[in-house]
């Protein structure tokens, strides 16, 4: 079916490498989101799949058919642009019927299909308007509709929600997910918004500087990041990172002044032992895996409250520890003020250790 | 100061300035139009007359004489020695030459501009500068080389020669104008069309060209004016076959008594096609000229 296999894809623009050796398989009917910061090569990947960009190396296969050298028209994929790229001189109906006209369908069939999709997207009242007369959300739906009328098996989406305002974006996230289920189509979706990725994707592929970092389910990407980059990119506020080292007694010693030490279990220690690399490491812990307490217990680290950011549903407390700032996610009713001295404790089950030079995860 | 008053003063000032500007630009045209319907006596009268029927009795003789080629015995007894009957032929030539050269320049220039705008071309800015630089030379400098070239190629006194020349003269302008417009049209439109199942050429034809039509219309008006008014080359290259109106206008000034009335009538007729063309595309014109200047 509409599985997509990208094999060792490389693309250079002049001397800068936009993509290097990207290999990625998207299963049939899968919602795969390519996530990464601006300039990571996400859009380039998508454009290579669509045929708008010629890769320097690598192959792209769809349904077992090699499409690397085909023109965009021959690939039969649908593309939703970030700018929607609705044809400004055509009405909504004409925008949606345009891809069907290329396929030489009969007028009645075109009308039937356009009307059906328009109803599904609740834009059937807008068919005679021009794109300029539509709101951003309506334009977005028309762009989706134009992609859907062709009944493609593969949808390519380039940050389709970025230009929408916040509430609409949240709404459309759920709707896109529902549509993807309903159409049972393969979605290859690009975004730099990790919330979009986490909430919609079956699997997330994380790209940075043209190199694929990790491909996994949202849960695994969050809980078992492959490296420092993924750990830092996914999650808000981002994971706290502190320098650490592992001593001979299987203890992780965090911070310059032996801030915190934790003894590793045997299995964890074996993992560490297997890891080849420099002795320097980075300790990572998510803000929600740090606990704050007013009662000073002996095994707690004393730290000073630097800033308190109440966000309504939760509160972020920045703790100052020497020159380091550690962000902690606490319940909204937690009371703290700048300058307070609090006890801080790391969850000994939910931390990570990364190799400092390669960035790879050790634990 | 009272805001209302200031606003009223402003408005009066605005209309006064507008009136002066309007008068400044329109009076010469009015004078020509009025002169074209005067008799020979009225047109050379020492006392200027401005208003037909009250100050002078209008006549269409000037028009009939230049359009129908009838030679009217002038009241001074001096016959105009320039052959008035050729005006119609000259006008036809002007229409064909300006029309075809404009069409060619706009088509070729648009295609070139699209290519420069959309594809990576090595030395693109040098190429664009080279194209522009062909306009930097005063045309008179290349007059003799072009004359010799056209003589050797047998292009003198022909349609193809002068059309080719005017096309060449207008191409840089069209390329520069259209490249600016194409740069403003998002690439995504064509890309969307190509993904929707069309070839690049189909995408250009179905999506890009409709977008570019205002720009093409604006560019065409300016190109047409250049070709329509061109005098120097037309005067030298096409003296008999394919001769255009501007040199002819000059010739009836130069020989014998100046036929001001007929000259004025010919000028009015000569100005009309451009006025009509500009009028037809006026809606596109403003959009075309301000394209890119206004954030859409």
B211 and A89 within 8 Å at the Cβ level: the answer is: yes
* Structural domain span for residue B9: 3-68
Same domain, yes or no, for A249 and A171? no
B197 and A85 within 8 Å at the Cβ level: the answer is: no
A83 and B193 within 8 Å at the Cβ level: the answer is: no
The Cα of B259 is separated from the nearest Cα of chain A by a number of Å equal to 52
Same domain, yes or no, for B133 and B266? yes
Direct distance between the N- and C-terminal alpha carbons of chain B, in angstroms, rounded to an integer: 37
Does residue A123 lie within any of the structural domains? Answer: yes
The pLDDT of residue B85: 67
pLDDT confidence of A347, banded at 50, 70, 90? Answer: confident
Residue of A71, A83, A89 with shortest CB distance to B188: A83
Does residue B79 lie within any of the structural domains? Answer: no
The pLDDT of residue B255: 61
Same domain, yes or no, for A250 and A141? no
Same domain, yes or no, for A253 and A198? no
Does residue B73 lie within any of the structural domains? Answer: no
Residue that the structure tokens 């404790």 belong to: A345
Q: Number of folded domains in chain A? A: 2
Same domain, yes or no, for B149 and B46? no
The pLDDT of residue A260: 77
Same domain, yes or no, for B164 and B206? yes
pLDDT confidence of A285, banded at 50, 70, 90? Answer: very high
Last residue of a domain, one of B68, B94, B118: B68
Across the range A164-172, mean pLDDT stands at 89
Does residue A116 lie within any of the structural domains? Answer: yes
Q: What are phi and psi of B178, to 5 degrees?
A: -70, -30
CA-nearest residue to B213 within chain A is: A89
Q: What is the mean pLDDT of chain B?
A: 86
Q: What percent of chain A has pLDDT over 90?
A: 61
With both helix axes pointing from N to C terminus, report the angle between B87-118 and B245-254 in degrees, rounded to the nearest 10. Answer: 140
The pLDDT of residue A45: 95
Contact at 8 Å (CB) between A3 and A27?
Answer: yes
Last residue of a domain, one of A175, A203, A224: A224
Q: How many CA atoms lie within 13 A of A19 on its CB side?
A: 30
B52 DSSP 8-state letter = B
Q: What are residue A315's DSSP bridge partners? A: A310, A330
Residue that the structure tokens 């937690």 belong to: A334
- Separation between Cα atoms, residue A146 and residue A110, nearest integer Å: 12
Pick from A83, A262, A63, A228: nearest CA to A162: A83
The Cα of B178 is separated from the nearest Cα of chain A by a number of Å equal to 19
Same domain, yes or no, for B124 and B211? yes
- Cβ-Cβ contacts under 8 Å for A350 (sequence gap 6 or more): A285, A286, A289
Is pLDDT of A248 > 90? no
Does residue A216 lie within any of the structural domains? Answer: yes
Same domain, yes or no, for B132 and B215? yes
The Cα of A18 is separated from the nearest Cα of chain B by a number of Å equal to 17
Does residue A360 lie within any of the structural domains? Answer: no
Does residue A67 lie within any of the structural domains? Answer: yes
User: Does the CA dihedral A14-A19-A23-A27 come out positive or negative?
Assistant: negative
Same domain, yes or no, for B237 and B150? yes
Q: What is the pTM of this model?
A: 0.80
Same domain, yes or no, for B157 and B234? yes
Does residue A229 lie within any of the structural domains? Answer: no
Residue that the structure tokens 């506020």 belong to: A237
- Separation between Cα atoms, residue B75 and residue B43, nearest integer Å: 12
Same domain, yes or no, for B119 and B214? yes
C-alpha distances (whole Å) from A22 to each of A35, A72, A108, A210, B107 are 14, 20, 43, 8, 43
Last residue of a domain, one of B68, B92, B110: B68
Same domain, yes or no, for A179 and A307? no
What is the 3 state secondary structure string of B212-249? HHHHHHHHHHHHHHHHHHCCHHHHHHCCCCCCCHHHHH
Same domain, yes or no, for B59 and B111? no
* Structural domain span for residue A87: 4-224
Q: Which segments of chain B does DSSP mark as H helices, in order?
A: 3-36, 40-43, 61-68, 87-118, 124-133, 143-152, 159-184, 187-195, 200-203, 209-229, 232-237, 245-254, 260-280, 282-289
pLDDT confidence of A296, banded at 50, 70, 90? Answer: low
Does residue B296 lie within any of the structural domains? Answer: no
CA-nearest residue to B296 within chain A is: A132
- Separation between Cα atoms, residue A103 and residue A345, nearest integer Å: 63
CA-nearest residue to B193 within chain A is: A99
Does residue A328 lie within any of the structural domains? Answer: yes
Q: What are residue A9's DSSP bridge partners? A: A22
Q: Using an 8 Å CB-CB cutoff, list residues of chain A that contact chain B.
A: 50-52, 71-73, 75-79, 81, 83, 85, 87-89, 98-99, 102-103, 146, 150
- Separation between Cα atoms, residue A239 and residue A228, nearest integer Å: 9
In this prediction the ipTM stands at 0.84
C-alpha distances (whole Å) from B221 to each of A130, B159, B217 are 29, 21, 6
Same domain, yes or no, for A157 and A260? no
User: Does the CA dihedral B250-B252-B253-B256 come out positive or negative?
Assistant: positive
Same domain, yes or no, for A217 and A332? no
Q: Is B19 on the interface with A (CB under 8 A)?
A: no
Q: Give B195's contacts in chain A (Cβ within 8 Å).
A: 50-52, 72-73, 75, 77-79
B211 and A52 within 8 Å at the Cβ level: the answer is: no
- Separation between Cα atoms, residue B79 and residue B73, nearest integer Å: 6
- Separation between Cα atoms, residue A85 and residue B189, nearest integer Å: 5
Is pLDDT of A211 > 80? yes
Residue that the structure tokens 């680290």 belong to: A301
Contact at 8 Å (CB) between A292 and A321?
Answer: no
Same domain, yes or no, for B44 and B156? no
Same domain, yes or no, for A127 and A165? yes
B193 and A77 within 8 Å at the Cβ level: the answer is: no
pLDDT in tens, B202-245: 999 999 999 898 889 989 999 999 999 999 999 999 888 889 99
Query: Which CATH number do you get for residue A142?
Result: 3.40.50.300
Q: What is the mean pLDDT of chain A?
A: 89
Query: Which CATH number do you get for residue A289?
Result: 2.40.50.140
Same domain, yes or no, for B63 and B88? no
Does residue A361 lie within any of the structural domains? Answer: no
Q: Is B7 on the interface with A (CB under 8 A)?
A: no
The pLDDT of residue B144: 92
What is the 3 state secondary structure string of A195-256? HHHHHHCCEEEEEECCEEEEEECHHHHHHCCCEHHHHHHCCCCCCEEEEEEECCCCEEEECC
Last residue of a domain, one of A224, A251, A267: A224
- Separation between Cα atoms, residue B277 and residue B102, nearest integer Å: 12
Same domain, yes or no, for B38 and B127? no
Query: Which CATH number do you get for residue B99?
Result: 1.10.3720.10
- Separation between Cα atoms, residue A17 and residue A215, nearest integer Å: 21
pLDDT confidence of A362, banded at 50, 70, 90? Answer: confident
The pLDDT of residue B291: 53
Q: Number of folded domains in chain B? A: 2
Cβ–Cβ contacts within 10 Å for residue B18, how many? 10
Same domain, yes or no, for A246 and A304? yes
Contact at 8 Å (CB) between A229 and A199?
Answer: no
- Separation between Cα atoms, residue B98 and residue B163, nearest integer Å: 7
Same domain, yes or no, for A98 and A10? yes
The pLDDT of residue A270: 77
Q: Is B157 on the interface with A (CB under 8 A)?
A: no
Same domain, yes or no, for A191 and A303? no
Last residue of a domain, one of A159, A189, A224: A224
- Low-confidence residues in chain B, pLDDT < 70: 1-6, 70-85, 254-256, 287-296
The pLDDT of residue A2: 59
């Amino acid at each position: 079916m509409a599985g997509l296999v990208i094999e060792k894809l490389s693309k250079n623009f002049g001397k800068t490498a936009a993509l290097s050796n990207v290999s990625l398989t998207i299963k049939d009917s899968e919602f795969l989101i390519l996530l990464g910061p601006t300039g990571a090569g996400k859009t380039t990947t998508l454009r290579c799949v669509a045929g708008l960009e010629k890769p320097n190396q690598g192959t792209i296969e769809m349904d077992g058919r090699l499409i690397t050298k085909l023109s965009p028209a021959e690939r039969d994929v649908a593309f939703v642009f970030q700018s929607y790229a609705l044809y400004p001189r055509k009405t909504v109906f004409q925008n949606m019927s345009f891809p069907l006209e290329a396929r030489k369908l009969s007028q009645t069939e075109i009308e039937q299909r356009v009307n059906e999709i328009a109803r599904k997207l609740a834009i059937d009242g807008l068919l005679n308007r021009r794109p300029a007369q539509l709101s951003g959300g309506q334009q977005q739906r028309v762009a989706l509709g134009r992609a859907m009328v062709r009944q493609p098996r593969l949808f390519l989406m380039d940050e389709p929600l970025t230009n929408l305002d916040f509430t609409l974006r949240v709404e459309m996230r759920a709707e896109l997910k529902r549509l993807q289920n309903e159409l049972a189509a393969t979605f290859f979706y690009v975004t730099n918004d990790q919330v979009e990725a986490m909430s919609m994707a079956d699997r997330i592929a994380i790209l940075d500087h043209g190199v694929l970092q990790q491909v996994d389910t949202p849960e695994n990407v969050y809980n078992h990041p492959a490296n420092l980059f993924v750990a830092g990119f996914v999650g808000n506020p981002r994971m706290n990172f502190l320098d650490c080292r592992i001593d001979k007694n299987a203890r992780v010693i965090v911070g310059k002044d032996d801030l915190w030490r934790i003894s590793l279990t045997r299995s964890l220690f074996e993992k560490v032992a297997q890891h080849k690399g420099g002795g320097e490491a980075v300790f990572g812990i998510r803000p929600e895996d740090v606990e704050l307490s007013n009662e000073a217990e002996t095994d707690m680290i004393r730290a000073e409250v630097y800033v308190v950011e109440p966000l309504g549903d939760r509160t972020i407390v920045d703790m100052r520890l020497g020159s380091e700032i550690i962000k902690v996610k606490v319940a909204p009713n937690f009371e703290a003020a700048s300058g307070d001295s609090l006890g801080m404790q790391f969850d000994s089950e939910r931390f990570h250790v990364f190799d400092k030079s390669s960035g790879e995860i050790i634990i | 100061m009272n805001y209302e008053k200031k606003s009223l003063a402003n408005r009066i000032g605005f209309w006064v300035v507008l009136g002066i500007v309007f008068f400044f630009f329109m009076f010469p045209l009015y004078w020509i139009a009025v002169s074209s319907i005067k008799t020979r006596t009225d047109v050379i009268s020492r006392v200027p007359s401005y208003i037909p029927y009250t100050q002078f009795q209008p006549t269409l003789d000037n028009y009939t004489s230049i359009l129908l080629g009838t030679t009217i015995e002038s009241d001074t007894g001096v016959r105009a020695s320039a052959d008035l009957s050729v005006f119609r032929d000259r006008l036809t030539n002007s229409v064909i030459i300006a029309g075809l050269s404009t069409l060619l320049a706009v088509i070729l220039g648009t295609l070139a501009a699209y290519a420069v705008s959309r594809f990576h071309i090595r030395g693109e800015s040098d190429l664009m500068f080279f194209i522009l630089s062909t306009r930097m030379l005063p045309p008179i400098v290349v007059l003799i080389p072009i004359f010799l070239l056209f003589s050797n190629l047998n292009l003198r006194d022909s349609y193809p020669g002068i059309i080719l020349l005017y096309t060449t003269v207008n191409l840089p302008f069209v390329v520069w104008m259209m490249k600016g417009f194409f740069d403003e049209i998002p690439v995504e439109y064509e890309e969307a069309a190509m993904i929707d199942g069309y070839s690049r050429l189909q995408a250009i034809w179905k999506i890009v060209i409709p977008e570019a039509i205002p720009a093409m219309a604006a560019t065409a008006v300016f190109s047409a004016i250049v070709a329509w008014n061109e005098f120097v080359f037309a005067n030298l290259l096409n003296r008999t076959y394919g001769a255009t109106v501007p040199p002819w206008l000059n010739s009836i000034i130069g020989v014998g008594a100046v036929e001001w009335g007929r000259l004025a009538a010919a000028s009015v007729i000569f100005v009309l096609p451009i006025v009509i063309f500009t009028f037809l595309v006026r809606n596109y014109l403003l959009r075309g000229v301000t394209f890119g200047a206004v954030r859409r």
